[in-house]
Amino acid sequence: MQPPETDYDRSYSSRVHYPRAPASDRLVYLKLFPAGFFALALPVLAGENAILVSGLRMHVDRHESSGDVVRLYQGSGAIELPAASIAAFEADDYVAPPPPVSPSLPEISTERQPKSKNPKDMVRAAAERSGLPGAFVESVAKAESAFDSKAVSPKGAIGVMQLMPDTAHTLGADPRDPEQNIDAGTRLLRELLIKYDGDVAKALSAYNAGEKAVDRYRGVPPYSETQRYVDRVVRDYLKDQNRGQEPGASGQ
């Protein structure tokens, strides 16, 4: 998916791979809050972090609550989410308490399990190797191509994760090979989450519109398609989470 604006940049041809963070620092965006850590109504702030109940985080300029809906504002765009999907808001200067002592997070797994030709299975396997929630990566794949390994966009993005050829080359992948395409796209998502300190909205925007656009606007760029893309991925992910929490729901 690519917005029509002229400063769109998704080729990543000059992409720099960021040094791998220490195990204790990686995947900070997946941390869960201690039991009972839920905020009461907070005043509207100039800059704050919306913490989703899943543990994912989004940086926003401000928020407004109206009944069971919360509107999150970032730049010229806004996303409406169910209030129940947000655990808390943190001010920009919030300093999180030290995490409880726990074993170090595992390195990215390079071990390959028996191959499945099902794109959804490959997405789940790639997410597990990169330490990302499977449902989150699935939501991205669904928005990108509806899991179509033969999809090619008008601008030349290829496969399930809609990789540009230059991007795939930089990531050492053949974009027309479904498994390599999915693995590379998932690794790219991980890199973007690390670069943007776990900010889901920025990482998704960079995946859709390019890092230059996100860095230029210091957040979600004012592209209607990118804003819709971020909204769609987050909503689909939250719907999946809600389905998993329903009584009698089976594990995925």
First to last CA, the chain: 27
Q: By C-alpha distance, which of 162, 151, 153, 149 is closest to 122?
A: 149
Phi and psi at 39, nearest 5°, equal -85, 150
- Say whether 246 is catalytic: no
Burial zone of 82 (CB within 10 Å; 0-12 exposed, 13-18 middle, 19+ buried): middle
Q: Of these residues, 48, 138, 144, 179, which one is catalytic?
A: 144
Residue 35 and residue 17: Cα distance in Å, rounded? 36
CB 49 within 8 A of CB 59: yes
Q: Which residues pair with 79 in a beta bridge?
A: 72
Q: Please report, for the chain, how many H helices and E strands are present, in that order.
A: 7, 6
Helix axes 134-145, 119-130, angle to 10 degrees: 130
User: One-letter amino acid identity for 11?
Assistant: S
CA dihedral 18, 22, 25, 26 (to 10 degrees): 60
CB 42 within 8 A of CB 50: no
CB 48 within 8 A of CB 57: no
Tell me which residues are annotated as active site.
Answer: 144
